[in-house]
Amino acid sequence: MSSRNSRILPLFILASSGLALAPPLGEDTPPAMEIVALRRELERSLGSSAYRGGRWSILAVSLDRGDTLLAVNPGEPMVPASNQKLLTTAAALHLLGPDFRYDTFLLSSGTLSGGVLQGDLVLYGTGDPTLSDRFFPSPTAPMDTLARGVAEAGIREIQGNLVVDGSYFTGPDLHPEWDPADLNDPFAAPVSAVAVNENVLTIRVEAAAAAHLPPSISTLPPGSGIPVVNAALTAAPGTRSRVWLFRDAPADPIGIEGEIPLGGRDVWRELPVPEPLIFAGRLLKQALEAQGIAVAGEVRVVRDPQESILAQGTAPGGLGERRPRIISHLVSPPLLEILRVVNKESDNLLAETVGKTLGRVTLGDGSFEGGTRAVARFLSRDVGLPPEVVTLRDGSGLSARNLVSASGLIQLLAFMAGSPDWEDFWSTLPEAGVRRELGRMSGSPAARNLRAKTGTMHGVSALSGMVRTRSGERVLFSVIANNVPSELRAKRLEDQVGVGLASITRPVEAHSPEGP
């Protein structure tokens, strides 16, 4: 870390823990009037009835001068929601590097004779979260590509089973601390070593050709084998469309009820799949059959590393008695492309996959707990955050037991700003005023200038990143709100802070470094 960044870090511990703004720590001269005005404006806002009752942790620090511009309870641990992804993605860039890639293999240790594979065909995944139409032309394209590789290897029949080996990751696919009410939502999809279509199934409900008949139901990708109980009806033209999907638990059949008008628009819903490894195996079998390859056996799943074809190995050619050979192979895009989706789109599955990957690669533990231990070690050993000031429970922020303060996030951002990974990390953050990123603050001095990670849960809102003032000074900031009655109003205060910081015009010191 540069000497400039090391000037900043001690300020975080000294800031006031009361509601009132902390004094301007680290300033050699009185603060600019714009900073004084911003402090007063923020204090008035937090004292108003619209924000009363919430808890706030706020800190803004100049990366160029090393002084504190804003501070409200900066050291108080707060639930960060998706600001947790800043910790995960920073650790991934630092420990894995931007060019890290995932591999997905089709393996077999059987014999091949006359186009017949005598033995199992094994789909072995290392957690690649890109096997979807986000990175491929269609949801089925990844499995289609692997199946073509099998055909090109001269295989026309598989006498054994189709085995999906998910043993690279261990422990549950669903975090035990995630809200059970979220488990039927696509943002809480299970996290597995083989994940096709981000472990999400899309249901399409289409009106029948006549009223009083059940609507037709189709899935994307097709052939998932997930049971659907259709109790909906097609209603008379002009009737209000009221269709809902439900299931009490992720493993239950999908129930469809309500009505859709004759000639009305199709209804689309997304649900996480209950058994991602079986889901992947069924789609692969379908892709193989489309290539004219017959599979005599059934789809089986392996989760125990002791039962893996690699016999505890971490790559083809592991410790098994007979060395498995690669039949077909996929390589993911670089990690940096994945991290841009994690932070810009706040994708939970990709974030949790990266977390489990960190645990597996650095500690040999590809579980939720392994991932959080790997990130915690990075924060303690490399960033210098004491273990007691941050609580890590998952990689995405879905757990309400994650805790970090504004000062902790600023310390992380300061570390990254002084590291060779800064430009890559900066490129992952949503940009203010840009549609489909951080569309807020459009038309203000923060637009196309401020970049920051958002975070939202019930009663929680957060925004942390960096903005340049009108004079080019780089300011790191973090705003975290807990127990607020309105996340929307909390975001208005975040915007107030971001635009206020972007509007400051005090001169930048001559030795201010260049860069984002």
Give, in order, the Cα–Cα distances in Å from 6 to each of 11, 105, 377, 414, 512: 10, 45, 20, 9, 15
How would you write 350-367 as a 3-class SS string? HHHHHHHHHHHHHHCCCC
DSSP character for 436?
T
- Answer whether residue 515 shows pLDDT above 70: no
Which CA distances in Å does 359 have to 92, 130, 170? 10, 19, 10
Long-range contacts of 227-230 (CB under 8 A, 24+ apart): 227/253, 227/254, 228/203, 228/253, 228/254, 228/255, 228/256, 229/253, 229/254, 229/255, 229/256, 230/256
What are phi and psi for residue 498, nearest 5 degrees?
-60, -45
Please answer whether residues 11 and 61 qualify as being in contact, where contact means their C-beta atoms are separated by less than 8 angstroms. yes
Question: Would the pLDDT of 512 be above 90?
Answer: no
Structure tokens at 270: 């997304």
Domain holding 347, by residue range, is: 3-97+336-502
- Of 289, 314, 333, which residue sits at a domain end? 333
* 132/196 Cα distance (integer angstroms): 6
Residues 148 and 252 in one domain: yes
User: Rounded mean pLDDT of the chain?
Assistant: 90
pLDDT of residue 30: 57
Last residue of a domain, one of 283, 304, 333: 333
Computed on alpha carbons and rounded to an integer, the radius of gyration of the chain in Å comes to 26
One domain for residues 143 and 251: yes
**What is the mean pLDDT of the segment spanning 439-455?**
97
Query: Does any domain span residue 25?
Result: yes
| Alpha carbons within 13 A on the beta-carbon side of 243 | 28
- Domain assignment of residue 432, yes or no: yes
pLDDT for residue 5: 35
Residue 368 in this model has a pLDDT that exceeds 70: yes
Whether residue 189 sits in one domain with residue 158: yes
pLDDT exceeds cutoff 90 at 224:
no
**pLDDT classification of 108: cutoffs 50, 70, 90:** very high
* Model confidence at 132: pLDDT above 60: yes
409 domain-assigned = yes
Confidence of residue 514 (pLDDT cuts 50, 70, 90): low
What is residue 226's predicted lDDT score, i.e. its pLDDT? 84
pLDDT at 223: 77
Determine, yes or no, domain membership for 435.
Answer: yes
Per-residue pLDDT, 26: 46
User: Exposure pattern of 225-254 as b/e (b: 16+ CB <10 Å)?
Assistant: ebebeeebbbbeeeeeeebebebeebeeeb
Same structural domain, 285 and 428: no
Residue 514 lies in a domain: no
Which pLDDT score is estimated for 21? Answer: 45
Least confident of 91-95, 314-318, 346-350, 478-482: 314-318
- Same domain for 181 and 224? yes
Note the pLDDT of residue 252: 87
| 358, 327: one domain | no
Rounded CA gap, 276 and 166, in Å? 9
What is residue 374's predicted lDDT score, i.e. its pLDDT? 98
- Are residue 244 and residue 388 in the same domain, yes or no? no
Q: Which of 302, 318, 333 is the last residue of a domain?
A: 333
Q: Which helix (H) or strand (E) holds 325?
A: strand 325-331
Alpha-carbon distance of 79 to 482, in angstroms, equals: 7
**3-class secondary-structure state, position 337:** helix
Q: Which of 27-41, 342-356, 437-451 has the lowest mean pLDDT?
A: 27-41
DSSP helix/strand/coil, 348 = helix
Q: What is the pLDDT of residue 175?
A: 98
Quote the pTM value.
Answer: 0.91
pLDDT at 510: 47
Task: Report, as an integer, the average pLDDT of 118-147.
Answer: 96
Q: What integer is the mean pLDDT of 314-324?
A: 51
Do 180 and 326 lie in a common domain?
Answer: yes
Report the SS3 class of residue 233. strand
- Asked if residue 317 and residue 408 are part of one domain, the reply reads no
Q: Whole-angstrom Cα distance, residue 60 to residue 503?
A: 14
User: H/E element holding 457?
Assistant: strand 451-457
What's the confidence (pLDDT) of residue 29?
A: 54
Q: Are residues 322 and 186 in the same domain?
A: yes
Number of structural domains (the chain) is 2
Q: Are residues 270 and 301 in the same domain?
A: yes
Least confident interval from 248-262, 294-308, 338-352, 363-377: 248-262
Handedness of CA 511, 515, 15, 51 (dihedral sign): positive
Query: Does the residue 510 lie in any domain?
Result: no
Q: Which CATH number is 366's domain given?
A: 3.40.710.10
**Alpha-helix residue ranges (DSSP H) falling in 48-113:** 84-95
Q: What is the pLDDT of residue 11?
A: 36
In a domain, 232, yes or no: yes
Specify the pLDDT at position 51: 85
Mean pLDDT of 74-89: 98
Both 148 and 278 in one domain: the answer is yes
- Are residues 478 and 464 in contact, defined by beta-carbon separation less than 8 angstroms? yes
State the greatest distance between any 2 C-alpha atoms of the chain, in Å, as a whole number. Answer: 84
Residues of the chain with pLDDT > 90, as a percent, come to 83
Give the pLDDT confidence score for residue 508 in this predicted structure: 75
Tell me what pLDDT residue 8 has: 34
Backbone phi and psi for residue 502, each to the nearest 5 degrees, phi listed first: -65, -20
CA-based nearest residue to 189, from 180, 179, 199: 199
Instruction: Give the whole-angstrom CA distance, residue 165 versus residue 344.
Output: 31
Q: Taking 60 as the threshold, does the pLDDT of residue 13 lie above it?
A: no
513 lies in some domain: no
CA atoms within 13 A on the CB side of 249: 4
How much is the pLDDT for 101? 98
CATH number at residue 124: 3.50.80.20
- Between helix 3-14 and helix 406-417 the angle, nearest 10°, is 180
**Tens digit of each residue's pLDDT (9 = 90 or more) over 25-62:** 444 455 678 899 999 999 999 998 788 889 999 999 99
C-beta of residue 21 within 8 angstroms of C-beta of residue 71: yes
